[in-house]
């Protein structure tokens, strides 16, 4: 009996703390229920009042109703960390940063957060929760749809069409997600980034581009780039120039490595120097004393890198174009980077497992598999009068030995004027005239016709074309070359071969009427054939020697994204810049930030 009592007493002593804790938990539970009820009553009361939020009462009620009228960003007596994460994400959004106050009134948000921390009453907490839901909703819309006023942008493009007869097409894609459900999921895991990541850009290395903006802003605050003097001559490897010291310093500021001020290993270079006062070339008697002014091998290699990364001729020679880019203001670079981050929010979020990116501004086509680059080649794109449309679609068919159905606008502006000058033009170019667009349809004999009547303004209106259909047969004269990669679209734009191979040696390759000419179409065919059993490469080679058209329908459709990026981060983490060949950066900058240069 005594043993039983002792054991029981010992058990009570050992578990006394747990008994006390259970009572405390009971009290805490009752207090939490009481607080939640007070907050629910406060919330329903506030929802009946007219609010000053971005979000309407109707939408706000929908958020709460499907969440059992529980708050999202607050707990019983405090603000959740998720709330601060949301605000920090918005503050650090590099696209919205210049207009942050306009979009979100951030100063008042910070003020409300501080006031609620100081006085976490139920009413203050619920008001803050209302505000944060409204902010979340607006931010998610900006992420999923982009911040630009799209109607205004289209109006600007229409002006260009009317004034310059240049037609631009740019398709914008939304991230079609239920942003309310995404918030429920984020609250469940207490992580707002779960929601944000589902609608934000997915373009490779986009976040690296955004982080580089932060670095450039810090550099700007510290005085910006070192300015390299404008030159009346070109700087070449092996010579001494007074500007070299500043040139090396400028490249170091842009993270170009291997810039070397030690020229002791360059004794075999020409020992000459540019006189600072007269700009004449003189012998340098003591090269080691002026090694900082030597255009050495390390500088030469880094200049070539810089030129390549900025779309310049990568010859390692420093002339006025290179100096101009080196001296481009940091703020201008930042503007360009922000615009391109915004453009990445206009793209489909799912780029595909295997996909193709054609960057018009870079004149390149790159193919990726699981976000690893597996193919790259130069391309020719539409010229300034015939810009290539910007859109996404899926490649579904490959055509060997394609016919070219010549667009009516080209017939009217180019083919018919050539026929007026040379009646044998059609025969020389292997062009037939058909009754319709079917290359097997009836071919007309148009010998002896007076083609000048189709150029007579009294007979043909400005928007009228000749009624015949002009089709060029497959062959070496066909501008589509021997292979066409078809992704059906309303613009009749596709990837294709070309007989004009010499154009790929140009730095600026905007020469087409809108289609995309490939420098290595057989390489693309080869990569696609790795997963397409229908493509027999040996048989294809034989077909391409003839003129018979062969269509190959793909079992697996390949997403093709035609983009216009003048700044991005490449596969090696290098920031790239390109010329704004279509003059679209300025238009979008003005619309996004309400000024030419902010």
Q: What pLDDT is stored for residue 368 in this prediction?
A: 97
544: Cβ–Cβ under 8 A, 6 or more apart, which residues?
400, 401, 482, 483
Q: Are residues 158 and 81 in the same domain?
A: yes
Rounded to the nearest 10°, the torsion over CA 573, 578, 582, 585 is 70
Select the more confidently predicted residue: 27 or 392. Answer: 392
When divided into structural domains, the chain yields a total of: 3
pLDDT at 5 over 80: no
238 within a domain of the structure (yes/no): no
pLDDT at 16 over 50: no
pLDDT at 216 over 60: yes
224-239 mean pLDDT: 91
109-121 mean pLDDT: 93
Q: Does pTM surpass 0.95? A: no
Confidence of residue 191 (pLDDT cuts 50, 70, 90): very high
Q: What pLDDT is stored for residue 505 in this prediction?
A: 94
Confidence of residue 261 (pLDDT cuts 50, 70, 90): low
321 within a domain of the structure (yes/no): yes
Q: What pLDDT is stored for residue 53 in this prediction?
A: 79
- State the DSSP string of 369-438: ETTEEEEEEEEEEE-TTSPPPBEEEEEEEEEES--EE--HHHIIIIIHHHHHH-TTHHHHTTEEEESSS-
Confidence of residue 18 (pLDDT cuts 50, 70, 90): very low
User: If we measure between CA atoms, which residue out of 81, 61, 197, 190 comes closest to residue 139?
Assistant: 197
Q: Are residues 444 and 567 in the same domain?
A: yes
Q: Are residues 314 and 371 in the same domain?
A: no
SS3 367: strand
Interatomic CA distance for residues 69 and 79, integer angstroms: 17
Q: Are residues 250 and 297 in the same domain?
A: yes
The last residue of one of the domains, among 200, 224, 252, is 200
15 within a domain of the structure (yes/no): no
Confidence of residue 440 (pLDDT cuts 50, 70, 90): confident
Q: Are residues 359 and 444 in the same domain?
A: yes
Tokens 């606008």 belong to residue: 409
In 10 A of CB 289, how many CB atoms?
A: 9
Q: What pLDDT is stored for residue 77 in this prediction?
A: 82
Q: What pLDDT is stored for residue 482 in this prediction?
A: 96
576-596 mean pLDDT: 91
Beta bridge partners of 375: 367
Q: What pLDDT is stored for residue 24 in this prediction?
A: 44
pLDDT at 45 over 80: no
Tally the C-alpha atoms within 13 A of residue 206's C-alpha that lie toward its C-beta: 22
The last residue of one of the domains, among 308, 326, 344, is 326
User: Kind of pairing, strands 431-434 and 443-444?
Assistant: antiparallel
561-580 mean pLDDT: 96
Q: Are residues 382 and 431 in the same domain?
A: yes
Confidence of residue 595 (pLDDT cuts 50, 70, 90): low
Tally the C-alpha atoms within 13 A of residue 507's C-alpha that lie toward its C-beta: 12
Q: What pLDDT is stored for residue 451 in this prediction?
A: 87
Residue 437 and residue 470 in contact, taking contact as beta carbons nearer than 8 Å: no
The last residue of one of the domains, among 142, 167, 200, is 200
Q: Are residues 271 and 417 in the same domain?
A: no
Q: Are residues 576 and 434 in the same domain?
A: yes
213 within a domain of the structure (yes/no): no
Interatomic CA distance for residues 373 and 572, integer angstroms: 11
Select the more confidently predicted residue: 44 or 87. Answer: 87
Q: What pLDDT is stored for residue 274 in this prediction?
A: 54
Q: In this structure, what DSSP letter does residue 467 have?
A: S
User: If we measure between CA atoms, which residue out of 373, 365, 543 comes closest to residue 535?
Assistant: 543
26 within a domain of the structure (yes/no): no
239 within a domain of the structure (yes/no): no
**By residue range, what is the domain housing residue 281?**
244-326
Q: Are residues 303 and 356 in the same domain?
A: no
Interatomic CA distance for residues 405 and 108, integer angstroms: 61
Range from 110-114, 223-227, 409-413, 487-491 carrying the lowest mean pLDDT: 409-413
Interatomic CA distance for residues 565 and 344, integer angstroms: 9
Range from 65-79, 312-326, 375-389, 574-588 carrying the lowest mean pLDDT: 65-79
Beta bridge partners of 372: 369
Query: What is the overall mean pLDDT for the chain?
Result: 87
User: If we measure between CA atoms, which residue out of 582, 587, 533 comes closest to residue 562?
Assistant: 582
CATH of the domain at 356: 2.40.440.10
Range from 198-212, 390-404, 466-480 carrying the lowest mean pLDDT: 466-480
Q: Are residues 446 and 547 in the same domain?
A: yes
Residue 525 and residue 367 in contact, taking contact as beta carbons nearer than 8 Å: no
162 within a domain of the structure (yes/no): yes
Interatomic CA distance for residues 162 and 367, integer angstroms: 36
pLDDT at 123 over 90: no
> How many residues are recorded in the chain?
598
In Å, what is the CA distance from 69 to each residue of 37, 73, 81, 229, 414? 10, 13, 20, 65, 68
21 within a domain of the structure (yes/no): no
pLDDT at 7 over 60: no
Beta bridge partners of 516: 495
7-36 mean pLDDT: 49
Secondary element (H or E) of residue 364: strand 364-369
In Å, what is the CA distance from 310 to each residue of 14, 341, 403, 507? 74, 18, 37, 11
Secondary element (H or E) of residue 465: none
87-101 mean pLDDT: 95
Q: Are residues 505 and 375 in the same domain?
A: yes
SS3 518: strand
- State the DSSP string of 503-554: GGGSSS-EEESS-EEES-HHHHHHHHHTT-TT--HHHHHHHHTS---EEEEE
Confidence of residue 272 (pLDDT cuts 50, 70, 90): low
Tokens 């929760």 belong to residue: 129
Interatomic CA distance for residues 89 and 519, integer angstroms: 42
Q: Are residues 359 and 443 in the same domain?
A: yes
């Amino acid at each position: 009996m005594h043993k039983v009592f002792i054991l029981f007493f010992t058990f009570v002593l050992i578990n006394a703390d747990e008994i006390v804790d259970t009572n405390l938990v009971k009290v805490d539970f009752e207090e939490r229920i009481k607080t939640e009820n007070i907050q629910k009553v406060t919330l329903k009361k506030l929802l009946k009042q007219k609010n000053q939020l971005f979000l309407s009462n109707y939408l706000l009620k929908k958020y709460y109703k499907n969440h059992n009228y529980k708050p999202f960003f607050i707990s019983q007596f405090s603000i959740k960390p998720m709330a601060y994460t949301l605000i920090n994400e918005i503050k650090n959004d590099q696209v919205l940063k210049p207009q942050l106050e306009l979009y979100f009134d951030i100063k008042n948000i910070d003020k409300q957060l501080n006031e609620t921390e100081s006085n976490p009453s139920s009413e203050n907490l619920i008001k803050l929760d209302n505000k944060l839901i409204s902010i979340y909703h607006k931010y998610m819309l900006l992420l999923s749809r982009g911040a630009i006023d799209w109607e205004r942008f289209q109006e600007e493009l229409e002006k260009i069409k009317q004034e310059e007869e240049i037609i631009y097409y740019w398709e914008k894609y939304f991230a079609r997600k239920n942003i309310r459900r995404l918030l429920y999921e984020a609250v469940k895991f207490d992580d707002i980034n779960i929601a944000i990541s589902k609608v934000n850009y997915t373009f490779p290395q986009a976040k690296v581009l955004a982080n580089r903006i932060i670095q450039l802003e810090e550099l700007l605050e510290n005085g910006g780039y070192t300015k390299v003097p404008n030159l009346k001559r070109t700087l070449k490897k092996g010579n001494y120039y007074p500007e070299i010291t500043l040139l090396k310093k400028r490249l170091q500021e842009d993270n170009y490595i291997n810039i070397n001020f030690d020229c002791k290993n360059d004794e075999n270079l020409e020992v000459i120097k540019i006189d600072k006062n007269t700009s004449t070339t003189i012998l340098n008697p003591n090269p080691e004393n002026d090694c900082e002014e030597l255009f050495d091998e390390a500088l030469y290699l880094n200049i070539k890198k810089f030129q390549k990364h900025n779309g310049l001729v990568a010859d390692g020679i420093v002339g006025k174009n290179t100096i101009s880019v080196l001296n481009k203001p940091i703020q201008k670079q930042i503007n360009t980077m922000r615009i391109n981050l915004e453009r990445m929010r206009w793209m489909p979020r799912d780029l595909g497992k295997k996909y193709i990116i054609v960057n018009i501004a870079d004149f390149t086509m790159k193919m990726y598999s699981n976000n690893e680059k597996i193919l790259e080649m130069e391309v020719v794109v539409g010229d300034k009068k015939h810009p290539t449309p910007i859109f996404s679609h899926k490649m579904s068919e490959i055509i060997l030995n394609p016919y070219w159905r010549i667009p009516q606008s080209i017939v009217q502006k180019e083919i018919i004027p050539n026929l007026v000058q040379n009646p044998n033009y059609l025969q020389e170019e292997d062009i037939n005239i058909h009754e319709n667009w079917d290359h097997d349809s009836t071919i007309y004999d148009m010998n002896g016709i007076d083609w000048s009547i189709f150029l007579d303004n009294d007979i043909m209106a400005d928007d009228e074309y000749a009624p015949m259909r002009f089709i060029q047969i497959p062959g070496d004269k066909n501008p589509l070359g021997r292979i066409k990669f078809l992704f059906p679209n309303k613009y009749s734009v596709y990837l294709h071969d070309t007989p004009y191979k010499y154009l790929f040696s140009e730095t600026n390759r905007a020469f087409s009427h809108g289609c995309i000419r490939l420098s290595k179409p057989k390489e693309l065919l080869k990569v696609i054939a790795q997963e397409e059993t229908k493509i027999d490469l040996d048989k294809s080679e034989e077909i391409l020697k003839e003129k018979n058209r062969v269509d190959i329908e793909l079992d697996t459709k390949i997403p093709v994204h035609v983009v216009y990026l003048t700044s991005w981060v490449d596969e090696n983490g290098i920031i790239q810049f390109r010329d704004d060949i279509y003059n679209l950066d300025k238009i979008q900058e003005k619309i996004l930030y309400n000024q030419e240069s902010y």
